[in-house]
Every structure is written in C-alpha cells, then in structure tokens.
Amino acid sequence: MELKGTNISFKYPLAKEYLLKDINIHLDNNKITGLVGDSGVGKSTLCEILSGYYTNFEGTVELDGQKLPEKEFCPVQLIYQHPEKVMNPKWKMKDVLEESWNVDDNLLSEFGIQKSWFTRFPQELSGGELQRFSVLRSLNPKTKFLIADEMTTMLDAITQVQILDAVLKIVKQRKMGFLLVSHDMDLVNTICDDVIYFNDINGI
C-alpha cells in the first residue's frame, strides 16, 4: 500500500505566497515514517491535504493509485493534536466513538478506556483520556493509512508511551501505513524507520 503525494502546491485563499510548493512525498505501509519540521512551516496543512481535508490544492494525492474519496469514508485518517476540537461538545463519548465504528471491549481495555466514561461529555474528561478516544475512533477497520499530527505532544510521557504502543500494535497487526509528525526527535528516532525533514521536501 502506498500513499503518494505528487507536486502538491498550496496557498491559503487570501495569502500571497505559496505555503507548500511542489511537494513530492511517498509513504508506504512497510515502514513507519516520521515528519519533522519547524513550527508554522506547513506540516499540519500537508497532513490535512494528504488525508483529504482540502480539495483546492494543486497536484494529486493517491492511495494505491486511486484518489481519496470525498463522500465516503476516507481510508487516510488524521489524528489531531487537540482532541477536544474534534469532538462535538454536546455529544456523549459513546456517540463520539460510534460515529466512526463499534469498538470491541478488548480494544477498549488495550487503550485504557473505561466504559464508565461513555456517558460523559468531552469537557468532563482529561486531555489524555480524550486523545485515547480520538485515536481509537480513527482506527476504523476501513482505515488504511494513519497520520498522527503531533498526536502525543500534549500528553505526559507515560500516556504517550501507552497510546503509541497501542496504536503501533494495531498498525503492525493490520499492516497499516503510519506517518508520525512530531517535534520530539527522541520519539521520532525511537519509533520511526525513516525520517523526512519538511524543509527538504518543500520547494520554497
């Protein structure tokens, strides 16, 4: 399986200059790739383009030679840094999780999620607890490729390890692709087989 971005260029509608210029990026599910770069250079925008959040960019994004679907479940899923932003504040956690798929109990315990949290609202859980939901939600069986945009940056070291371990286990099990975006070089060096430096691929 191969996620391939070809000649991606993008600028925000009111911006004068391009943020991303002629980016070529090849990712596959045989190795875990890390993406590192300074703040504000466009890593998150690139991640959003790769997972189908934008349609108004130049170039193509293909998964196994096919364009990402716009109206169906997107096989490339993005995990954001801030889980509270990707959850409807009026929804109970059960609904939040089931918006994507019905998770079995084994997986719940693997991610350290307690059933008693299901009846709570997002603002009643801590950041770490929310991020577990956010990650598990994106691990829908239809997901082929996972992009973690600073997924664990806001978490403490222990939670970071717990969540990453659980995710990597499933990624290996299901032979999914995994792109880790991070500022933490130690983390990237430990986990990733390959590291991409954002400034090297951005043609600005």
Partner 1 sequence: MADKSKDVSSIYSPIAKMNLRTKTLLTIGLTVFILVAVVITSLFINSADITTNFNAMNQAPSFEHLFGTDWMGRDMFTRTMKGLGLSVQIGAGASILSSVIAIILAFVGSINSKLDSFIAWLVDLFLSVPHILLIILISIGLGGGAFGVTMGVALTHWTSLTRILRAEIKQINTSEFVKLSQRFGKSKIWIAKKHILPLVITQIIVGTILIFPHAIMHEASVTFLGFGLSPHEPAIGIILSESMKYLATGNWWLALFPGLALLIIVLLFDIAGENIKKLLDPTSANE
Distance CA 147, CA 75 (A): 11
Binding residue for partner 1, selected from 38, 58, 64, 124, defined by CB under 8 A: 124
CB of 140 to partner 1, least distance (A): 8
Sign of CA dihedral 156, 161, 164, 167: negative
Can residue 198 be called a binding residue for partner 1 (CB under 8 A)?
no
Q: Is 151 in the site for partner 1 (CB under 8 A)?
A: no
**Interface residue with partner 1, options 9, 18, 22, 121 (CB under 8 A):** 121
Under the binding rule (CB under 8 A), the answer on residue 100 touching partner 1 is: yes
Q: Which is nearer to partner 1, 79 or 163 (CB)?
A: 79
99 binds partner 1 (CB under 8 A): yes
Q: Minimum distance between the CB of residue 47 and partner 1, rounded to whole angstroms?
A: 12
Segment contacting partner 1 by CB under 8 A, of 6-14, 35-43, 65-73, 191-199: 65-73
Query: Taking a C-beta distance cutoff of 8 angstroms, is the pair 33, 178 a contact?
Result: yes
* From 10-18, 33-41, 82-90, 145-153, span contacting partner 1 (CB under 8 A): 82-90
Three-class HEC string of 111-172: CCCCHHHHHCCHHHCCHHHHHHHHHHHHCCCCCCEEEEECCCCCCCHHHHHHHHHHHHHHHH
* 63 contacts partner 1 (rule: CB under 8 A): no
Q: Kindly indicate which of the ranges 10-18, 46-54, 109-117, 145-153 contains the residues binding partner 1, using the contact rule CB under 8 A.
A: 46-54
Taking CA atoms, 179 is separated from 20, 44, 93, 158, 195, in Å, by: 18, 12, 26, 21, 10
Q: Cα–Cα distances in Å, from 2 out to 26, 65, 168?
A: 7, 8, 18
Shortest Å distance, C-beta 93 to partner 1? 12
CA distance 147 to 78: 5
Binding site for partner 1 (CB under 8 A): 51-53, 69, 71-74, 77-78, 80, 85-91, 99-100, 121, 124, 140
